[in-house]
Amino acid sequence: MCTVAAGMVARVRNRAPRPQWLPVALLATVTVLSVAARAAWLGAPCRSPCRTAADHVLIFDEDYYVNAARVIAGIRPPAGAPYAHAPLGDDPNAEHPQLAKLVMAGSIELFGDGPLAWRLGSIVFGTAAILGMYALTRAAGGSPWLALGAAALMAADNLMIVHGRIGTLDIYALAAMVWAAALYLRRRPVLSGVVLGVGACAKEVAPSLLLALIVFEALRWATTRQGGRARLVSLGLCTLATAVSTIVLLSVLYRVAPPYADAAGQRVTGGAFGHISHILDYAAHLTSPQGPRGIASYPWWWLGDYKPITYLNINPSRPAPGLSDIHPAVHFLGMISPPILLAGLVGLLVAAGGLGAARRSGLGELGALALAWFLGTFAPFALSSLLLDRTSYLYYMLIVMPSLYLAAIYLLARLRPPRLITAVWLVTVLAAAIVMYPLIPITL
C-alpha cells in the first residue's frame, strides 16, 4: 500500500514518468492484498468447538440472507432462525430480488453449508468492484495512476472491507453499478444497461445509477453545449436496456426461486411485475415518522459518519448475552473511513466549483462524474427520508462511496497539496483500515 501511495503522489506531483505497466502491476498488488484481507479468517467467529455450520456466527443481515439462501438450496434453517418454516426452494426474503441469494444458494450446493459458501460471492463481487473503480476512472479520463488511487481507496475503506466479506446484497449491486458506469462512459449504453439490470436483480437500489448518469450528461452538456441529442439517445438506450434486462432476469428468477412473503405466509403472485410491486410496497412501509431509532439514521448524518452500526461485537472476556464460548474477538463496524470521507466531501465541493477548469487541466471528467454519482445516489435517500420519513441506515452509503473515492483523488490531482500533507493523509487512510479491520478488534 505504501508503494501504491508513493506512486500515486509522485504522478500527481509531475515527477519523471514511470513505466506504463507499473500502475497495472500495483493494481494487481492492491487486489491481491484486498482479497487476502477480506478472505482472512473467513469462518470467524465460531462457537466452540466449531464443528457444524450452525456453530458459525452469522454477521448482521446475514441472518436473513444466508437463511434465505439455505431455503432456496433446500436446507432448513436452524430452529428460531428467520425463515425456518418457509417452503424449501422458494426465496422467503421476497422484499429483495433473488439474484445474490441465489448465488449464495449455488455456493452452498457446491461447497456445503458454511462460511465459504455464504461469503465467497461477496469476496468475488467486492474484487470486481475494486477493478471496476480502476476501469471507471480510466473511462472518465483519469490517468492510470489516478485510477490506481481510486481503486486503492475503495480497497482501504472499512465499509467496503466489511461488505466485501459478509454475505449481504449491497456489494453485488455496487459491483454492477461501477462496471455499468464504466461501460456507459466507454459508449456502450446498451451493455451498460444490461449490467445494471443484473445489479438491480441483486438489490433494487442499483438503478439509482441512472439518475447519476442523467446528472452527468447534464453537466457534460452544460460545460460543452454540444451533443445534446446524442446524450439523450445514450441515456434512453441505457434506461431501456436496464428495464428490459431487469424484467427478463426477474422473470427467470421468479421461476427458479419463487418469492415467498414470509410474514404473510404466502407466495408473491403476478410474476416479475408482481414481485416488483411487492418490493416497492414493502419499502414504502419502512418508515420512521418519529425519527430514526435503533441503528437507523438520517442520510445527512452519514456525511459526518454519525451513528455507525456495530454489526457484531465478540469479546470473549466479557461476552454479551447469548454470545458466550465464541472465538475469536471481532468487531464488525459499519462505518466509513473518516479520512476518505473528509477528502471526498472536500473534493466534491472543489469539483462543484470548477468543472470547466478541471476539463482544461487534463483531469477529464472526474469531477463531473464524482459530483453526478453523489447527487444521483445520495439524493434519493435524502429526499425519501425528508419527504416520506423513509427509514435509512449508514450502510446504504456503500453505493454512494464511489463518488467520494473519485472526489478524493480528484482533489489531490487538482489542488496538488504539499507532499507532507498528502503523505500524512495517506498514512491516516491506511491506519484507519487497520484500526477498523474487524479481525483486529482494537476498538473493543
Cβ neighbours of residue 228 closer than 8 Å, sequence gap 6 or more:
221
- 2 pLDDT band, cuts 50/70/90, is very low
Using CA atoms, how far apart are residues 427 and 42, in angstroms rounded to an integer? 27
- Predicted pLDDT at 290: 92
User: Which has more pLDDT, 115 or 2?
Assistant: 115
Cβ neighbours of residue 113 closer than 8 Å, sequence gap 6 or more:
53, 70, 73, 75
Can you read off the three cell numbers belonging to residue 255? 421461476
Residue 201 in any domain: the answer is yes
Residue 40 in any domain: the answer is no
The proportion of the chain whose per-residue pLDDT surpasses 90, expressed as a percent, equals 83
- 440 pLDDT band, cuts 50/70/90, is confident
Using CA atoms, how far apart are residues 229 and 217, in angstroms rounded to an integer? 11
Using CA atoms, how far apart are residues 254 and 341, in angstroms rounded to an integer? 39
Can you read off the three cell numbers belonging to residue 235? 441515456
Helix (H) or strand (E) holding 261: strand 260-261
Number of residues assigned to the chain: 444
Using CA atoms, how far apart are residues 67 and 62, in angstroms rounded to an integer? 8
Residue 42 in any domain: the answer is no
For the cut 70, the answer to whether the pLDDT of residue 361 exceeds it is no
For the cut 70, the answer to whether the pLDDT of residue 362 exceeds it is no
Question: The pTM is what?
Answer: 0.93
Residue 33 in any domain: the answer is no
The answer to whether residues 418 and 20 touch, using CB atoms and an 8 Å cutoff, is no
Residue 23 in any domain: the answer is no
What is the tens place of the pLDDT at every residue in 237-247? 999 999 999 99
Domain count of the fold of the chain: 1
What is the tens place of the pLDDT at every residue in 170-195? 999 999 999 999 999 999 999 999 99
- How many angstroms separate the Cα of 225 from the Cα of each of 115, 141, 186, 294, 339? 53, 19, 20, 48, 36
Residue 62 in any domain: the answer is yes
| Residues forming a β-bridge with 156 | none
Mean of pLDDT over the chain: 92
Question: Which 8-state DSSP code applies to residue 316?
Answer: T
Residue 311 in any domain: the answer is yes
Residue 193 in any domain: the answer is yes
**Domain of residue 64, residue span:** 2-8+54-265+295-435
Can you read off the three cell numbers belonging to residue 264? 404473510
Using CA atoms, how far apart are residues 259 and 90, in angstroms rounded to an integer? 6
231-245 per-residue burial string, b: 16 or more CB within 10 A, e: under 16: beebbebbbebbbeb
For the cut 50, the answer to whether the pLDDT of residue 9 exceeds it is no
